[in-house]
């Protein structure tokens, strides 16, 4: 009897996996038919070409990009500023067109519209401003602003002096990922986080959100990891989880834990020399992601409902088991 159970189990598992894939394919086919009417407005190019005669029209079209406390002379002088000229030249050279990024943003918007019918397509506007890796994109209900100088590639000379782990994130491929992160924070219930588990589950929700709205990105890209960093996280998942449990970190309220395992950093801080030197930063996000994925796999609940669930409820019902 035992010898028969194993083949039956794997047959059932294969059938469930096939059914799940077919369901996902059907959903993606429906999403691809959603009409999204938008264009990427190249304010960076328009401002670079503005003249005293055309400035009033540009200000009228983009009043929110011109502080009223500055007169026309200020903006015209800004055009002569060598730093502004360099910003404009470098962003336009790197992004002469935004064909790939536009396709990805459109797909993101289609997925958002499918899962959140109330979603309204915003204006999407590019700008050439100073590098600000802490605020890489700006998202409101009606406007998305894309500062292109934040995505010129990790080796760009603008990023000289920026730590390598930060510069790694300043690649064009991360633009739509950062946009999805902003929307994830908007749609995810953000209760006050007291414990390390609260942080893990919140970050896991954000990453699961990306599973749903940017499925065309790799898991490594969703985390802003390199493939090597992502493979390290997968290979060491069981060890990481055992460390969190053995050190009784899950329900710990130590405010230093996010800086060790959640916040951007060159590596995660286990305080073990060899592991610290090999690990990528933000490893807690990866663990939280796997917990949320298991919760969704093992419970009958919608994506939107999950976003509002309490962290402990998700953890208690996830039946999470780290991959070996």
Report strand pairing: 143-147 vs 138-139.
antiparallel
Contact 245, 230 (CB under 8 A): no
Find where tokens 């007291």 sit: 194
pLDDT value for 17: 55
First to last CA, the chain: 28
Residue 49 DSSP symbol: T
Task: Count CB neighbours of 227 within 10 A.
Answer: 11
Q: Quick one: tokens of 318?
A: 């996830």
Rg (Cα) of the chain, in Å, rounded? 23
Report helix, strand or coil for 176.
helix
Predicted local distance difference test score (pLDDT) of residue 142: 96
Closest CA to 115 of 178, 200, 28: 28
Residue bearing tokens 């749609």: 187
Other CB atoms within 10 A of residue 312 CB: 14
User: Which residue has 């300043």 as its token pair?
Assistant: 170
Distances (CA, A) of 288 to 19, 197, 251, 257, 293: 26, 8, 14, 14, 9
pLDDT of residue 324: 76
Residue 178 CB neighbours (<10 A): 17
pLDDT tens for the chain, 324 residues long, are 444 455 654 555 555 555 566 778 899 999 999 999 999 999 999 999 999 999 999 999 999 999 999 999 999 999 999 999 999 999 999 999 999 999 999 999 999 999 999 999 999 999 999 999 999 999 999 999 999 999 999 999 999 999 999 999 999 999 999 999 999 999 998 778 899 999 999 999 999 999 999 999 999 999 999 999 999 999 999 999 999 999 999 999 999 999 999 999 999 999 998 898 899 999 999 999 999 999 999 999 999 999 999 999 999 999 999 987
Which pLDDT belongs to residue 2? 46
Distances (CA, A) of 166 to 154, 169, 234, 287, 320: 8, 6, 22, 21, 31
Give the per-residue pLDDT at 18: 56
């Amino acid at each position: 009897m035992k010898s028969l159970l194993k083949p039956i189990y794997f047959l059932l598992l294969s059938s469930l996996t096939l059914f799940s894939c077919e369901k996902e394919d059907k959903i993606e086919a429906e999403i691809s038919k959603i009409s999204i009417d938008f264009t990427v407005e190249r304010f960076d190019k328009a401002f670079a070409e503005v003249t005293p005669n055309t400035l009033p029209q540009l200000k009228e079209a983009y009043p929110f990009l011109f502080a009223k406390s500055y007169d026309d002379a200020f903006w015209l002088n800004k055009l002569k500023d060598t730093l502004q000229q360099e910003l404009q030249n470098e962003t336009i050279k790197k992004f002469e067109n935004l064909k790939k990024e536009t396709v990805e943003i459109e797909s993101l918007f289609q997925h958002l519209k499918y899962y959140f019918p109330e979603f309204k397509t915003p204006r999407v506007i590019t700008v050439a401003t100073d590098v600000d890796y802490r605020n890489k994109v700006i998202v409101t209900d009606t406007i998305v602003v894309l500062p292109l100088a934040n995505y010129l590639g990790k080796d760009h000379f603008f990023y000289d002096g920026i730590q390598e782990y930060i510069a790694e994130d300043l690649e064009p491929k991360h633009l739509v990922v950062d946009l999805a992160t902003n929307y994830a924070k908007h749609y995810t219930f953000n209760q006050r986080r007291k414990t390390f588990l609260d942080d893990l589950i919140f970050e896991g929700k954000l990453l699961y959100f990306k599973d749903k709205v940017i499925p065309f990105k790799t898991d490594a890209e969703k985390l802003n990891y390199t493939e090597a960093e992502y493979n390290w996280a997968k290979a060491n998942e069981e060890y990481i989880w055992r460390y969190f449990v053995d050190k009784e970190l899950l329900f710990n309220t130590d405010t230093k834990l996010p800086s060790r395992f959640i916040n951007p950093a060159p590596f995660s801080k286990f305080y073990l020399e060899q592991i610290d030197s090999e690990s990528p930063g933000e490893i807690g996000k990866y663990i939280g992601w796997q917990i949320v994925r298991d919760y969704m796999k093992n419970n009958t609940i919608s994506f939107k409902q999950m976003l509002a669930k309490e962290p402990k409820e998700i953890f208690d019902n996830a039946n999470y088991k780290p991959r070996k």
